Amino acid sequence: MFLSTHPTQEEASSHVASQIIARINTFRPTQNRKFILCLPTGGTPFLVYRELARRCEEGEVSFEHVITINLDEYVGLGSEHPQSYCHFMEENFFSKGKLQSPNIIFTRPFPSPSPYHTILTPSPVDIPPNQSHLLPGHPIPPNTTPEHSCASYESLITSLGGIHLLFMGIGENGHIGFNEPGSSFGGRTRVIKLDEGTRGVNARFFDDPSEIPTHALTMGIGTIREAREMIVLALGKKKAEAVRRAVEDGVNHLCPASALQLHENVRFVTDNEASQNLRETTKTYLMAQVPAEPSPPSQDERHGPNVTLVKRPNRPNALRGSSFNLSLSPLSPREESHQHTWSRPPSPVSARNKANDEIIAVQGTNGDQKTALDTSKHDEDNEPEPPTKTLLSQGKIKINEKLNVKNDKGDEDCQVM
């Protein structure tokens, strides 16, 4: 565990944004080698998202080859609800509040009365919409259950080869994601009943207290701990005791964040207020542990030696660097309400673990829904290529792309419609 403390919330948030950007740029993600980034919601990450969007707009980082996976979601709040985490992500990061209409449909749940009447323009964050994944809080996709959605989310993470960087906050009671005190350290993505304390703390976001959900979907602590690297941001004196318990107390189930003490690559980032309960010796030693930063590639290196840097045009995300075309036909109200990124029951899973890489290949079909995964090897670094293409064919969305994948009969180069 490492610790990085900063005088203000702005400086701590900027540091986290810098860390995320450095990891993405050092990784040098490509179309066939995506960077898998897990993201949180809540009040804490707000400034980080603002900073990431600003620096993306300035060309310091691109999310074109980043896949995002969110930590948690309330049960019962539709994507149009302003307090759903889906809505939060659209408003604060994916589209930065610039929602207009019409024409483009998105494969992630979308906070608009009608998904196909909404377009993002012109967002500085260049992440293609089909590369953002959230747990479906409401409505639960057809022919499935919340438990199935959770199992599917686990399969998704596995199919992507695991999470490279997991960024999250911490609850006042020490929760991570929505893993409340008492949660198993080996827990997987699941439905959880919210602690009354958490509901009380989060009541500040709701006009009507009766709307505060009683349950949530959350990645489990076991799922979280499998991320290769984690950044935990804690801001303000209300988090000081949770930070102290997570960092200085023994590892115990009543403080879920204390499980992170056992992970070898976790960085707590705080402002001075959030670290005020830590002993000076703790700060001294954990801050001394911060590893030297690998120098990220320059912009020229990232874009290749023969490419002239051009500021990205001001046009909708979905049209920017998109690798496939979406053709639309109007959806019935029922279909509209089921446009979830992740909406099918778990596929048959075949897994192979190579060394400690946790790269697992998944292949499966389910009726007309297909999961197509590219499991080809990646030459660079002799690492297996993480599967990068998880495509859902659902409702009236047609995905037209030649894929170098195998279908359930083993045929290669199939077309998913």
Ligand X SMILES: N[C@@H]1[C@@H](O)[C@H](O)[C@@H](COP(=O)(O)O)O[C@@H]1O
Q: Give the interface with ligand X as residue ranges (CB under 6 A).
A: 40-44, 71-72, 168-171, 177-178, 198, 202
Q: In the complex with ligand X, which residue's Cβ is closer, 71 or 165? A: 71
Q: In the complex with ligand X, which residue's Cβ is closer, 169 or 296? A: 169
Q: What is the DSSP letter of 42?
A: S
3-state class (DSSP) for residue 387: coil
CB-based burial of residue 50 (10 Å sphere; 0-12 exposed, 13-18 middle, 19+ buried)?
Answer: middle
CB of 222 to ligand X, least distance (A): 16
Closest CA to 6 of 289, 230, 280, 275: 275
CB of 38 to ligand X, least distance (A): 11
Q: In the complex with ligand X, which residue's Cβ is closer, 194 or 416? A: 194
H or E element in which residue 168 lies: strand 165-168
CB of 204 to ligand X, least distance (A): 8
Q: In the complex with ligand X, which residue's Cβ is closer, 52 or 391? A: 52
Q: In the complex with ligand X, which residue's Cβ is closer, 71 or 246? A: 71
- Euclidean distance between CA atoms 54 and 290, whole angstroms: 26
Beta carbons of 163 and 355 less than 8 angstroms apart: no
What DSSP line would sit under 302-355, residue for residue? HH-TT----PPPS--GGGSS-SSEEE--PPPHHHHTT--SS-SPPPP------T
CB of 344 to ligand X, least distance (A): 25
- Euclidean distance between CA atoms 300 and 396, whole angstroms: 41
Beta carbons of 179 and 218 less than 8 angstroms apart: yes
CB of 43 to ligand X, least distance (A): 4
Q: In the complex with ligand X, which residue's Cβ is closer, 129 or 171? A: 171
3-state class (DSSP) for residue 269: strand
Q: In the complex with ligand X, which residue's Cβ is closer, 60 or 172? A: 172
**Residue 371 backbone phi and psi in degrees, to 5:** -110, 120
**Where does residue 157 fall: left (phi above 0), alpha (psi -120 to 50 degrees), or beta otherwise?**
alpha
CB of 133 to ligand X, least distance (A): 16
CB of 137 to ligand X, least distance (A): 12
CB of 175 to ligand X, least distance (A): 6
Q: In the complex with ligand X, which residue's Cβ is closer, 129 or 169? A: 169
Beta carbons of 164 and 35 less than 8 angstroms apart: yes
